[in-house]
Structure 1
Amino acid sequence: MRRLWQFVQTVIGIIFRHPIPGTSIIPILPDGRIVLIRRRDNGKWALPGGIVDWGEDIPTAVQRELAEETGLDLVKIRRLVGVYSAPDRDPRIHSICIVVEAEVKGRMKVQDTLEVMEIQAFLPTALPPGQLSHDHTQQLQDYFAGFTTLA
């Protein structure tokens, strides 16, 4: 019985002591505006995105998270903006975030009311003032600078 408990503890440790992969999406509408969501948990503006589900690849996660949080359709992923892995980048968990720029279309509509309070499109020169949620300010700065970041 003791051996079984040690095995269970090892498995739990492996699962819960590893970073969780996720995505952030920089959604660009046909008119060039960037779509942001206002998070329900902290009230801050953020890029849409979330955790990659089991058995899912990154492009599928991007398409799903975009639809779930904004109601928008993915036209295409334009480029990889970066991979962000600092242990403190997400206050809830240690996550590794793959950030992409995406061409999107459709009508913005909050789909996930548990996570999203509001959706709005902003001109790149008129993003909401103040700190965005998580490390999304840095992600957008890297995007505007044309960087592909590994951080």
Structure 2
Amino acid sequence: MNVLAFFAAIVQSTRGLWRYGQTVLGVIFRHPITGTSIIPILPDGRIVLIRRQDNGLWSLPGGMVDWGEDIPSTVRRELLEETGLELVEIKRLVGVYSAPDRDPRIHSICVVVEVAVQGEMEIQDALEVKEIQAFLPSALPTGPMSHDHSRQMQDYLNGLTTLA
């Protein structure tokens, strides 16, 4: 094989590898990530919200599903990590939110659930959570919430189950 043919074979092989690499990267990075938002209800009926460190807005606790984890396990883990509260029971599915622009960081599909909780509110992840507070449904903070959590909360308060 002459030198020109050798380099042509390398270029062809590299193109094949690049196309394969592009496909893998597309599968990994062009598919939505699954996450949860949690509407934690204390025994007295108050709703627990967190104030985020990154944007200072009120938010529902929640986060991304880890590899090998199901939604109930994610709910339990994220609730404990962000609020210090323990999951008693998942009460109902509030909705599944999938709009590509619902999270400014990435395209994520969010499964929102109402849960009964117990325990003492305590910030576990100070890098993510600035404040935790419980509100009566009639006294929730006004103004925008982080991500699309205002819509999620409104759907919950209206008793809806939403697929959006």
Query: TM-score scaled by structure 2?
Result: 0.90
> Which residue is 1:26 aligned to?
39
> Which residue is 1:87 aligned to?
100
> Which residue is 1:37 aligned to?
50
Letter in 1 for 2:128: E
Q: Which of residues 16, 20, 37 is equivalent to 2:29?
A: 16
Alignment of 1:74-113 (within 5 A): 74-113=87-126
- Segments of 5+ residues of structure 1 without an aligned counterpart are none
Higher helix share: 2
Q: Work out the CA distance in 2 between the residues paired with 1:120 and 1:18.
A: 34
Q: Which of residues 99, 108, 129 is equivalent to 1:116?
A: 129
Q: Which of residues 50, 56, 60 is equivalent to 2:69?
A: 56
Letter in 1 for 2:158: A
Q: Work out the CA distance in 2 between the residues paired with 1:5 and 1:141.
A: 46
CA shift, 1:6, in A, is 2.0
Q: Work out the CA distance in 2 between the residues paired with 1:106 and 1:125.
A: 22
Query: How large is the Cα RMSD of the aligned pairs?
Result: 0.7
Q: Which deviates more, 68-77 or 5-14?
A: 5-14
Which 4+ runs in 1 deviate beyond 6 A? none
CA shift, 1:91, in A, is 0.6
Q: Work out the CA distance in 1 between the residues paired with 2:27 and 2:116.
A: 36
- Segments of 5+ residues of structure 2 without an aligned counterpart are 1-12
> Which residue is 1:127 aligned to?
140
Larger Rg, first or second structure (1 or 2)? 2
Letter in 2 for 1:93: I
Q: Work out the CA distance in 1 between the residues paired with 2:45 and 2:142.
A: 19
CA shift, 1:5, in A, is 2.5
Query: TM-score scaled by structure 1?
Result: 0.98
CA shift, 1:13, in A, is 1.0
Aligned pair count reads 151
> Which residue is 1:146 aligned to?
159
Q: Work out the CA distance in 2 between the residues paired with 1:65 and 1:80.
A: 17
Give % identity: 74
> Which residue is 2:9 aligned to?
none
